Structure 1
């Protein structure tokens, strides 16, 4: 059953696309004059459009009802006008699909409230999606939703173009790809992916850190490309970290095969991790799952780690610039944990255990 207000939303879509007929315009105006609730909804939609909140608008639409309405319009148009209506309907269809994909594939970002003495940048940074054609849209406050099977509805080539999901420092984000694969992205990371996977493979490109739960498809391998490796899987769970000079792939479940840019090959079993650097190539070793995956819970464990490496994590997680004022401080080894919402506690512990003090200057953190 079509919701009571759905016809108002459909009229609004048609008005935006220039599809609203004279007869429907008259019906709309009558409805707006005589139905206070409809008028209120129309004004709300106009306000959303003025503030460019297109995602929120599309999320509340019933796509099946909208597309059905478009098809009815097309079927009732005289033959000589059909090409024009087809173009309009096709454009609306693609825009609707893009909007729904953007709103349905993304979950809530982790908004990290700083503690009292941690400064906040005046210019708020949000997770953003850059479409294949260069258009950019912020992804704010979207809740996870099931994936729609759009491969069966359209083969529009734009849907197979690569888009880029940008996760800035201080944020993390989860995306559900069109095949159902789930990807968790850590702070300061990028994922390039298509809305729909075409061809015989499912390929994405990662910078930063991401945890993948890949849906199994024997006929369509999933490949994660990094700067130095290509990770090929069928269906599995694994973490990829490309932050530093050494890339690490840690396998939790299933099997993966890695190919490095130098031609070296390596297969991993669960519980093993690959490390790659240009000097030694691919190396396999065991790893502690809790340590590698703790970032997904907002915790970073470290043992005898140089402060210079912890500095990098602090900059990514808290969106601050960290400066080590004392010579040799970067080589000082530290053990403990860092929690995303408790930077001040970590700094206090650092002062207590290691006599390393701190101060803020704007958005710059000094350790000394």
Structure 2
């Protein structure tokens, strides 16, 4: 039991740092077969989740030091006398030791996050409790072996399987074009952009992608001969390289977008529906109910598994984030705060009845949260309070 508990913690850290191998997974399966209760502990631990931006923390965590300290722990005689059965006593002690180790890891992670949160700054202009700095260019890349790499804006080269090299130049991730290695089509990478982040990349076929905050894009190291397929959760702007005989397909939770060569914005967060706006070219939209729609430039289509709703798009509004600003047009406060929450990585609380008044205007994404809120409250009829990364919204005179 003791060994299994500590091994479970080791594997938990490997899971979060992206270094859990196939051999590790096989060992875990054997542990779960020996003691099924540990499977529940494992699933509960990983279900809590961890931001990909913490991957470096998990990689650098000194488990040996924590484990040595716990193993040197000796229970008091009173504690031993309180349990009559020796086996039960040892079981409880060892479970407690492993729980203590998990507690140490949790505390260390909490302190790490607190110390690393440099977005929270003093507000010296608008008299809020504090201010929050805007997001910036940041992301992590999950390689085909599960390893998670922090992506910076500095020039760098990353090594993948089969000798494939990925380059970061001019703040963009680049893949080697037209790779002839067929096995690369079976290897997948995932670009994860956290809240308060964005990132730019060039896929193996030359397609350019801008990925917005709180989004994830998965794709192969090289596309197959007949189709180019990626998967999006979140929002991205695509400029697809034209290939007449090899369509480009973006898969989302609500349906697929099929194109040959075009530019479009796709928003597919985990909400009730997704939407796509076509800038130029032509796309075919198929939702999960197999309903198909041919979209023409200037159209915006909101879709879910059952329905599609076509409207004329305000192109400037739909791609404003990619150009570096927010654009609001008859938007209610909930829609506005949803965008701000992703860019500033904040939580939003509504106090009292929510106004139905709408707001219009544009705001640079480079301003601080306090400045953005001051601009919004002038026309939206609301007041704001900032407490660390929690924003409270309430009607004026309430």
- 1:344, CA displacement in angstroms? 2.1
Matched residues in 2 for 1:160 and 1:120: separation? Answer: 41
- 1:326, CA displacement in angstroms? 2.6
Contact 1:115 1:344 in 2 (8 A): no
- The 1:313–1:151 alpha-carbon spacing in structure 2 relative to 1, beyond 3 Å, is same
Matching of residues 1-368 of structure 1 within 5 Å: 117=123, 119=131, 126-141=138-153, 142-144=168-170, 147-149=175-177, 151-152=179-180, 154-155=181-182, 157-158=183-184, 160-243=186-269, 244-278=271-305, 281-329=307-355, 331-342=356-367, 343-368=369-394
Count of residues paired in the alignment: 253
The DSSP-based 3-state class of the residue aligned with 1:172 is strand
Contact 2:347 2:391 in 1 (8 A): yes
- Deviation per residue, 1:286-316 (Å, 9 max, x gap): 2121111111122121222121111111110
Q: Could you state the TM-score of these two structures normalised by the residue count of structure 1?
A: 0.63
Contact 1:220 1:234 in 2 (8 A): yes
Matched residues in 1 for 2:350 and 2:203: separation? Answer: 40
Gaps of 5+ in 1: 1-51, 53-111
- Deviation per residue, 1:107-137 (Å, 9 max, x gap): xxxxx9888535459xx99410112332111
- The 1:177–1:114 alpha-carbon spacing in structure 2 relative to 1, beyond 3 Å, is farther
The DSSP-based 3-state class of the residue aligned with 2:363 is strand
Gaps of 5+ in 2: 1-58, 60-117, 124-129, 154-167
> More strand by proportion, 1 or 2?
2
- 1:209, CA displacement in angstroms? 0.8
- The 1:149–1:308 alpha-carbon spacing in structure 2 relative to 1, beyond 3 Å, is closer
Give the RMSD, CA atoms, in angstroms. Answer: 2.7
Q: Could you state the TM-score of these two structures normalised by the residue count of structure 2?
A: 0.58
The DSSP-based 3-state class of the residue aligned with 1:315 is helix
Matched residues in 2 for 1:125 and 1:252: separation? Answer: 24
Matched residues in 1 for 2:360 and 2:237: separation? Answer: 24
The DSSP-based 3-state class of the residue aligned with 2:374 is helix
- Deviation per residue, 1:242-293 (Å, 9 max, x gap): 23423111111111111111111100111122211345x1232221211111
- 1:340, CA displacement in angstroms? 1.4
Matched residues in 2 for 1:213 and 1:328: separation? Answer: 38
Contact 1:202 1:221 in 2 (8 A): yes
